[in-house]
Structure formats: C-alpha cells, structure tokens
A and B are shown apart, each in its own frame.
Chain A
Amino acid sequence: MRPQRKDSITTDAVAAAAPAPFIHVGFTTATLTRDCVLVLLPSLVWGFYCFGIRAALVVLASISSALIGELILDWVARRFSLFDGSAFLTGLLLGLAMPPGVPFYVPCISALFAVIVVKGCFGGIGSNWMNPALGGLVFSLISWPRAMSTWLLPRHLAGVAGISGATPLGFVRDHAAAGSSGTVLEILTGSGINFSETDKNITLFLNETFFAPIGAELPFGYLDLLLGNRSGSIGELSGLLLLIGSVILIARRSIRWEIPLSILISFGLLTRIFGGLPFGEGLFSGDLLFSLFSGSFLLVSFFMATDPVTSPRTKTGRYVYGTGVGILTFLLRTFGSQPEGTAFALLMMNCFTPWIDRHSSWKNRPRQMSEGVVE
C-alpha cells in the first residue's frame, strides 16, 4: 500500500474545525478538468461526423482504458479518485490525438501507459513531470509508427468512409522532399487534393465581397484547414472549434494564455521567416496559416501545453516555456524525421519545467523586493 502523507489528507473532523478563510470561491480541481472536457466535446463530435463510428470507438477505448488504469491505481492506493476527472480528460485528449483508423489496442495500451506509468508511478495527479496524455501519445508514436501515421479522409470529402489519405502536413512535406517547389497551397492543389464545396463557395464569396476591393485574394484550401475538412487525428481537425474552446477556457481562467501565446508568436515568427526555405523560396515567405491549422499544433499547444502540473508556475517561466515549445516545434517539423513535431517539442520542454521554475521563483527576486529577510 502506498504510504500516505498524513499532512496532505484532511479528514472531516479536521475540516469541521478548519480556521479561516471560511468561504471559498467554489472552484475545484474537478471544475478545471470538467471545463476542459466540455470544450473538447465539439471537436469530438466533428471527428465523429468526419470519420463515423470508428472515431468514436477509438476515443471510447482510450477513455475507458484510462479510467481502468485509474481504478487500478486507486485499488493499489486504497482510495477513490475517479471523480476528479483527470483520468477521463487524459483518455479524451489521448483519443482525440489518435488517427481514426488506428487499431483499438493502440489507444488502449497508450491510455493505460499514460495513466499508470506517466501519472501514477510519479506520484499521481499533480506530481507527474510529463503530461499523461502527451506521454501516452508519444508512447504510441514511437511504438506503432505505421499505425499512427495511417490517416483517413473525412467521409464527406471522399464520398465514402475509410478512404486513406495523407494529412496536408505530411503531403506537403513529402512533396518538398521530392523536390517540388511553389507555395504550400500550390503543392496541395497541384497534386489534386480535394477541397470541399463549402470551402470553394465561402472563399469565392469572401474574395468577391471583402478581398477584391482591397486587392487581395484568398486561395482555396485555407477554409478547409480552418474548418477541419482534412485528414488528420480525430480531435485536431477543426482549428476553429479548438480556438473557440480555448478562448472559453482562457476567459474562465481555466488555462493560462501566456503559454499558447508565446508558442504562437515564436512558432509563427520562425515559420514566417524560415518556413519557405524547404520549398525553395526565400526568407519571409513561410505559410503561417497552413502551419498553424495543420497537424496537431493547436490541440497540443492549447490543451496539453497548458496543463498546470507540467508547466512553469511563474509568468516569466511560462513565456520561456512557450517560446521553447514554439522553437522546438518549428525545428522538429522542418528538420525532424516525422511531419509532426509538436508533441515531441512539448515533451522536451516538460523536462525543463523544474529548471525554469527554480530560476524564476521568489527566492531569486531582486534583493530590494525581498526586504532583506532572505539570508
């Protein structure tokens, strides 16, 4: 049985005599996870719409395995903590990051690994150094690289369900490696990727009414990326839904805005400046919109990077952390062996969190602020 620190567990008898403060804001750990789960649900529904029942089953497998893992941990520790929602959130995030066609054992084993090894073995909720969902994702990416890079086209785009198709990110990367040049969207259209009718209609409308008077033109394809009419993992498709969800979380102060913002800025700047080089173009020609809305960038940077347990506690620290994630993501996407690098980038920055915390904590504040009581 896991030894429990006497101090961290407050019994009812102690709580009855608990001193001030006597009121509470009413915000609990369970509220935080519940908020996160709720704003992720639209993305799940969209994934279900695109890939059918199989996508839902993958997520379900992931969630139930995560809950089973939590129950095993609870049984070992003789407690019950299923209702704090953290295992559910881990399972949901992991399931959303899976490709829809993945064999069911992949989400199951990854979720068990995430909850039991990544979270439980390091001391349970609040003590893990790596985000459990992220740990599970990286585990599955390394263990089953083939299964984790086999993608399906949304069924309303392909006409039938189950047609495989590369993700835009992987597609463009393959072509760049093969030596084709031109802008990202030119590569996509040149190779005959299907855009949806919605995209065509709305882009035409936007071009005619808004962009034509100012002499600009929006190419086809971006709206598909924004809305999620593309292949990819179950939950990462629609950047729009993810953005709306994260705005809600930030407004409710469930997550911190510093981390996503600094990821966006550092990654965006690097992409804009150097992103065109692999395609044989000059500096300052990178395709920002494409990079932001393809791959799992938004899902990882808004929902996994903001996990309070594994990110720094100071504002300065969070800027450093986010900037690091952005830079590493760019490097991994450009020079790494796989088209997607956000998860690995975040994993690396998780390792730096204690170091960042130590160097931005109260102890290291300027001396005149500490009123001379330290040392």
Chain B
Amino acid sequence: MRPLRSFTRGGLSLRLQREWPLELPVRNAFLPVSAVVLLKQHAGSASRCLVSKGEFVREGMLIGKAESIDQSAVHSPIPGIVREIRRIRLPTGGESEAVVIALEGFFDRLGKKQEKFLWSSMARNDVLQTLRDKGVVETDPPGAPLAEVLFRAKGVKLLILNCIESEPWIRTETAALEARAAEVLDGLRIISASTEPGKVIIALDESEPELAKKIENLTALEEKSFECVRLKSRYPQDLPSRLLEAFSPRHQVGQKADSALFVRPSTAIAAYDAIALAKPFIERYVTVGGGVVKRPAVLKVRIGTSIGDLFEECGGFLGNPDRIILGGPFRGLPSYDLDMPVSKTTNAILALSAEETKRGNTVPCIRCGRCKDVCPEGIDPNAIYRRIDRSLIGAAFEFGLRECSICGLCGYVCPSRLPLVERFAAYKSMAETSR
C-alpha cells in the first residue's frame, strides 16, 4: 500500500486530543421558537431586507435580497411572524441587521415528500442562477457565495471535495458525509458539471476508514472521473495550500491555491438541495461540543437557531464554560453571548472548560523553537513576532508573515503564551487592507 499522503512540514496529529465523545448518529435539532436570521451570513456584505415588522413569512421565503456579488440571498428558516428587525454585533466584528421570526403557522416543506428535479440537462447559467436564488454560500468561514465561486472557477485544473475536517475537534463534514453520502456526490457532480474541471479528487481522512471505504465504493461503482485519496489525519491538512502540497509535494508548493477549487461536503449538500430539490439554504450540520457540554453531538440545525438553544439540547453545561466559540478551537471566533444565532458559515459551536483553555500569562520567550517546529508554512513565528514587537513590520514580512495561514498551531504550543497568532492576524489583515 502506498504511504498516506500529507503535507511536508510542521503540523500536529490532534485527533486523540478530544476528550468528549460525540453522540451518534446525527439528529435533527428542535425547531427554534424564535429564529434570529442575520442578513449577513458570510464575510460579504448584508443583503437588503425585504420584510417588515409584523409581516407573515413562510418557510423558505426570501427575506433578504442579494444585490451585488458579495451578498447572498437569505431565506426564512421557519414559518412565522416577523417580531422585529434589530442590529446584532457579529463575532467577526461589526454589526448586521437581523430578522427575528417567531414560529407560527404551518410548514411548506418539512415532512412533505420532496420531488427530485433532473438537473443534468440544466444549463450552467441556470445552475448558477438557482444557486444564487437559493442563497447557497460556502459553508466554512469566510464563505463566499457559491455561484460566484463557480463562475470564476470555470475550467479549473483541479476540483477537490475537501472531506478533511477543518479542525481537530469538529466532525461536521464527516457527519454530513455519513448522513448523505449520495447527495454529497450528486452535489459534487453538479459543481463539476458547471465548472468542467480537469480532474476531480475526493480528499478523505484516514481516521474515518469506514466512511472512506463507503465513498470509495460509491465512486468506484458509478463514476470513473472521481479519484479518492486518503490523507493523514493531521492538522491543518484541510487548508487549500496544504492539500495541494499533499497531492503533489515539491512541484506545487507555492502554486497559487487559485488553480484548484475546494468544496466542502456540506456545501455540496446545499448545492444539491438547491438544484435538485429547489430548497433554499436554511439548515446545516453543526458540531455542538466542548468540555462542559453534557452530551456533545452533531445536529442538523435551522439557520437562525440561537447557540444557547443548541447547548441546551445537548444537555446543557456541566459547569461554567470558560469560553464560547463559534467554529473550531484553532481558528474560531469568540462569542459574546449565548443568543448568537447559527449562520450559514457556523460549522461548530464549542463551550470550552478551563481545563481545555488552560489560560496562562504571557512570559518572556525562551526561544525554544516549538512554534517553528509545528508551523506548516515553514516560517519562524518567533522571528516574525520579535520584529512585530519592535514595530519592524516590513522586516516581519521579509521573514514570511505573508505566508502565515493563521492556523493557530504556534500559539497552541508556545510555552511562553506569546500572543503570536493574534499579532500575525492583526498585521496581516492590516497589510492586506492597506494595499
């Protein structure tokens, strides 16, 4: 057997670090009594609100209209009455309008038999327009609208279905793949048909051998053009640059990630639902976990459900959570409160215990070099940090700050608790916006 592929430098094997088991199988979360639907669900800008207070909305009705390519359509996840339209502080910074909908009336789709549309005869433009209309965005932050991504990616060399979990404690993509493998592959076919890539690769995680086997069997039976590749379970394998490195070490290191299109299984499901079932993007899989959650699980959640409801559904907290996080422990965002709604790009919500966060004070660096050892980009975080510390930003970029993918590993291992990742992220984004 061929040795498992992976990237060359740094990284950590972290799948054994999770101490809380996830309840299986995936189950549906309760419908929210009151859904808070953000009009800015991804990193773009907010769409225009189409409803007003007191108005009745139906399940899947358009409530936010996309008016430019960085906006996406927003639909009502539940039927009900618009209670208010208020502004909500986002964990990414800034604010967004949100429509608060109180559950009322009946469901148009839920529990009804769904008709499957034969999409294979659809023209590319129709597919993209439908994806736009149904508000499909990439399901991981930052989450660009899928139609625009596919529009730009026509004739791309490589289409990669990225089944590697974005972070060690998350199991969202694996759960989506387990629950709806056939739909994921159909979604991939839709995306493949509308981009016409040179080659399609399904990147699988070796730590889920049964799932990998299942996908391999499914693709072996039907499709000749999909190639399945198992990759080592190693963070941050899911990054586009690290995936490219794994597929062709040496040759493509440094090749722009633009030469390939990366799609998540849950994005593929959303695309399938939109095209084949004409269903807007109103629900997604979310990993609910963390050391203080009683029964961690992966839930199928309506967009707009508050994270507090989801924690409650998983048995509530065992103790005081030290941190509440939207996303994973390495690249997630801290949440201010439990009323934060799930958005289209929320892949996990974690309530971490103090034993997991292990907070400590910053002490002087002792140049142990652990940050350098784990860095998947092969840069020297400490050298960069020292230069930032002395306000030598230009020198920091000379030492490779631009290469940094903000994976968070250096901060994770640093025995001196230097705010490495914090500084890198701040100065990187500063340099990018000033250009």
Residues of chain A touching chain B, judged by Cβ–Cβ distance below 8 Å, are 5, 7-10, 12, 15, 17-29, 31-32, 81, 84, 124-127, 256, 308-309, 313-314, 361-363, 365, 368-375
Contact = CB atoms under 8 A, between A and B. Distances in A.
Interface string B359-380: 1111111111110100000111
B421 A20 contact: yes
Given A8-B389, A29-B416, A313-B372, A363 B361 contact: no
A23 B421 contact: no
B251 to A, nearest CB: 11
Contacts of B157: none
Given A15-B361, A363-B398, A374-B398, A22 B366 contact: no
Contacts of A81: 363
B403 interface: yes
A25 B254 contact: no
Contacts of A26: 358
Interface string B231-262: 00000000000000000000001100000000
Given A24-B357, A125-B366, A309-B367, A18 B398 contact: no
Contacts of B330: 20-23
A264 to B, nearest CB: 21
Contact of B357 (A22, A29, A309): A22
B332 A369 contact: no
A182 B5 CA distance: 57
Given A7-B389, A308-B367, A19 B329 contact: no
Given A23-B356, A25-B413, A18 B367 contact: no
Given A5-B389, A8-B389, A21-B408, A362 B380 contact: yes
A123 B368 CA distance: 17
A22 B325 CA distance: 8
B417 to A, nearest CB: 7
Nearest to B409: A21
B294 interface: no
Contacts of B398: 363, 374-375
Interface of B: 253-254, 323, 325, 329-334, 350, 352, 356-370, 372, 378-380, 382-383, 389, 397-400, 402-403, 406, 408-409, 411-413, 415-417, 419, 421-422, 425
A48 B331 CA distance: 51
B366 A309 contact: yes
A373 B380 CA distance: 15
Given A28-B415, A32-B366, 12 more contacts: A15-B361, A19-B422, A20-B333, A20-B411, A21-B329, A24-B358, A27-B370, A27-B413, A28-B363, A81-B363, A308-B368, A309-B366
Nearest to A127: B364
B165 to A, nearest CB: 15
A24 B254 contact: no
A361 B380 contact: yes
Nearest 10 Cβ contacts at the A-B interface: A21-B408, A371-B254, A126-B364, A10-B362, A308-B368, A24-B358, A23-B329, A126-B366, A21-B330, A21-B411
A326 B323 CA distance: 49
Contacts of A309: 366-367
B421 A371 contact: no
15 contacts: A8-B389, A20-B333, A21-B409, A21-B411, A22-B323, A22-B352, A24-B358, A126-B367, A313-B367, A313-B380, A362-B379, A369-B378, A370-B400, A371-B254, A373-B400
Given A10-B361, A10-B419, A361 B366 contact: no
A62 B434 CA distance: 55
Nearest to B388: A7
A125 B411 CA distance: 20
B421 A21 contact: yes
Contacts of B383: 313, 361-362
A8 B362 contact: yes
B403 A371 contact: yes
Contacts of A256: 369
B255 to A, nearest CB: 9
A239 to B, nearest CB: 26
Contacts of B331: 20-21
Contact of B334 (A5, A17, A27, A370): A17
A345 B220 CA distance: 64
A363 B399 contact: yes
B416 to A, nearest CB: 5
Contacts of B408: 20-21
A243 to B, nearest CB: 22
Contacts of B419: 10, 18
Contacts of B399: 361-363
A84 B364 CA distance: 10
Nearest to A15: B359
Contacts of B357: 22-24
Contacts of B378: 362, 365, 369
A19 B362 contact: no
Contact of B352 (A9, A23, A25, A370): A23
Contacts of A369: 253-254, 378
Given A8-B364, A20-B329, A308-B368, A25 B403 contact: no
Contacts of B358: 23-26
A308 B397 CA distance: 25
A24 B352 CA distance: 11
A133 B44 CA distance: 56
A256 B366 CA distance: 14
Max count, chain B CB within 10 A of own CB: residue among A17, A19, A22, A373? A22
B384 to A, nearest CB: 9
Given A19-B422, A22-B329, A371-B254, A27 B415 contact: yes
Contacts of A7: 389
Max count, chain B CB within 10 A of own CB: residue among A7, A12, A21, A127? A21
B408 to A, nearest CB: 4
A320 B269 CA distance: 54
Contacts of A313: 367, 369, 372, 380, 382-383
B247 to A, nearest CB: 17
Nearest to B375: A362
Max count, chain B CB within 10 A of own CB: residue among A23, A127, A361, A373? A23
Max count, chain B CB within 10 A of own CB: residue among A19, A27, A363? A19
Contact of A308 (B254, B333, B369): B369
A125 B422 contact: no
Contacts of A361: 380, 383, 399
Given A29-B366, A308-B366, A362-B378, A19 B402 contact: no
A351 B362 CA distance: 28
